[in-house]
Amino acid sequence: MSNESRGAGVAEPPAEAEGGRVRARAGAGDGAGVPAEAPRKPAPPHSVLREYFESLVVTAVMALFGMTFVVQAVKVPTGSMQNTINIGDHLLVNKFIFAPGPRLPFLPQREIERGDIIVFKYPGKYQGEPRFRDSKLVDDERPDNIPYKTNYVKRVIGLPGDRVEVRDTQVFINGQPLEERVIHARNPPPDDRETPEDEYGAPLTVLDTPTAPPDADYGVYIDPDMHAQTRRPPAAGEIFDVPEGHYFVMGDNRDNSQDSRFWGYVPRSAIIGRAMFVYWSFDESKPRSDAPAPVSYVIDFFRNTRWSRTGTFVK
């Protein structure tokens, strides 16, 4: 047997020859070989302006998403919820908690409950009798009450299907008294235009706090001089039958609140979310600085901010 047959197979070429062939393929121009990869040029560095622009776009998208689906900032301009929420309070509203759709157990979502403080779009007045049951929703004539545009803040009293009866200062739900902590207080006087401060924008003056029911979770403010309950038992009051998909709301400042007692029910579609906490509170009843702008803004910010209310939760 010859040496060739004993060494059957493909003989490996010498290393130098193979290396030469690889180099030849790399240098060949007829396309027979695999061309060598050209060295890649490094990407040009981002300019400082481009980095700022990209950060700004990402921040704007995240803020837009948060304001659309998660939270919203609102300012309270009226005293219908004093002293729970004061004039000049700036609130963050939780929009996600009442979001429509299926409820997933791992998400902080739930149905609207009695006692929740909600922010909603003012739905306009109901006209008709008896007490909105067969009423028609009409536009409001007041320029500061634009239906489905003006934001309102109130407390949920009646749920869909409830019968709400208001007897003077006492509220009954389906025939049972609603347990609320009644606080005797007095509304501030009208604004005196001769003085630099806004007297009407001040909080209520608390007179006394009667003993609260054991299950009362919140307080309502009543002026005892305006009601007959302190002198005789309340007579039969107004009855409101809350339709399905609607809510009956009232302000905690019961003597100074335009609410469902006057203009009707709040449809579920008009509810924005639940008031969470005060992120800033500006006392608009105090006088403003006479210094020129923008120095006056800085002075007013530090002098008129209610620092004790900043960061407090609303309940």
Structure tokens at 151: 């934001």
- Host H or E run for residue 117: strand 117-121
Whole-number pLDDT of residue 26: 45
Structure tokens at 121: 């779009």
Distances in whole angstroms, Cα of residue 149 to Cα of each of 123, 239, 259, 271: 8, 28, 16, 12
Whole-number pLDDT of residue 114: 96
Whole-number pLDDT of residue 228: 58
Instruction: Output DSSP code: residue 149.
Output: T
Whole-number pLDDT of residue 54: 64
Structure tokens at 32: 């027979």
Whole-number pLDDT of residue 171: 94
* Domains of the chain from N-terminus onward: 51-304 (2.10.109.10)
Maximum Cα interatomic distance, the chain, rounded to a whole number of Å: 132
Q: Which single residue is written with the structure tokens 């809510």?
A: 247
Task: Give which of 255, 245, 274 is closest to 168, Cα–Cα.
Answer: 255
pTM: 0.74
CA dihedral sign of residues 26, 27, 32, 35: positive
Q: Do 213 and 176 form a contact (C-beta atoms < 8 A)?
A: no
Whole-number pLDDT of residue 86: 93
Q: Return per-residue pLDDT of the chain as tens, 315 residues.
A: 444 444 444 444 444 444 444 444 444 444 455 555 666 666 566 676 766 666 666 666 655 545 555 678 889 888 999 999 999 999 999 998 887 767 777 778 889 999 999 999 998 888 765 666 667 777 777 777 788 888 999 999 999 999 999 988 899 999 999 999 999 999 988 888 888 888 888 899 999 888 778 888 899 999 988 875 544 444 567 899 999 999 999 999 999 999 999 899 999 999 999 999 999 999 988 888 888 888 888 999 999 999 999 889 998
